[in-house]
Amino acid sequence: MHREHHRWYSPRLQRDMELLIHGHAGARMVVFPTSQGRFYEYEDRGMVANVGDLLDQGNLQLFCVDSVDAESFYNYRAHPGWRIHRHLQYEAYLLNEVLPLTQRVNHNPSLMVHGCSFGAYHALNLALRHPHRFGRVLALSGKYDMSSFFGNYYSEDLYFNTPRHFIPNLHDPHQLAALRRMDIVLAIGRDDPNIEDNRSLSRDLWAKGVGHALREWDGWSHDWPDWARMVRHYIGGSD
């Protein structure tokens, strides 16, 4: 299996960032780690091997990115305004540094974004904010109301990075049209504490005419063996 490690100084984050590429061709998929996770987590947890046949066959290529969660959402010692600003710097790094890299490496027009748990938030939030850039999102066991991370603090930046808040008030026809073209899969266990959060977001998306799949799995289903089964089930486009 083809594997590449990349590291460079990000001018937007003002520090070195790393990522791993797995596979040599096929649909491009940007993969986010879980809470404060690293770029090698997906590989370490057996998820790369889980889709090894798709990688070897040239059907799929993974771009496993690093996180800055410890500097943003989980950086409780810093002012909340700085924390959400740091997240926006991370988004700028993804859009202006990571996505161009994926295009240089692989000209396949299909671009997906995927994550589990906190990575699901990153994946879905990025896709909802920039739907023209992505064709598909696979978000597993995510949480989409981020206000609990910031206590009594609220701002426009936090609003526009909280899908549960900005989707109900979204009226831009171009963004909505792009969202309606995108293939969105939300999967979560029925006993997951974030199940109602997912159901509420699903209702908000349907209210905006944004078709998607909300799939509820038995039990908690919030661990790597569960996510491995979910990825195998949905990666080919099954609902």
Strand partners, 4: 21
Instruction: Give the pLDDT confidence score for residue 237 in this predicted structure.
Output: 47
List all residues 6 or more positions away from 112 whose beta carbon is below 8 Å from its beta carbon: 27, 28, 29, 30, 134, 135, 136, 137, 138
Please name the residue that has the structure tokens 């994926």.
102
- Across residues 23-38, what is the average pLDDT? 98
CATH of the domain at 220: 3.40.50.1820
Within a domain: 239: no
Within a domain: 226: yes
Within a domain: 82: yes
Distance between CA atoms of residues 42 and 81, nearest Å: 30
Instruction: Give the pLDDT confidence score for residue 14 in this predicted structure.
Output: 98
- Across residues 197-205, what is the average pLDDT? 98
Q: Express each pLDDT in 205-238 by its tens digit.
A: 999 999 999 999 999 999 999 999 999 999 964 4
Instruction: Give the pLDDT confidence score for residue 236 in this predicted structure.
Output: 63
Burial-class residue 213 by CB neighbours within 10 Å (0-12, 13-18, 19+).
middle
Within a domain: 146: yes
Within a domain: 148: yes
Distance between CA atoms of residues 79 and 83, nearest Å: 6
Within a domain: 71: yes
Distance between CA atoms of residues 54 and 124, nearest Å: 23
Domain span at 116 = 3-234
Percent of the chain with pLDDT over 70: 98
* Overall number of domains in the chain: 1
Q: Express each pLDDT in 83-138 by its tens digit.
A: 999 999 999 999 999 999 999 999 999 999 999 999 999 999 999 999 999 999 99
> Judging by DSSP bridges, how do beta strands 60-65 and 111-116 pair with one another?
unpaired
* Averaged pLDDT score across all residues of the chain: 97
Within a domain: 58: yes
Within a domain: 74: yes
Copy the structure tokens of residue 107: 């000209």
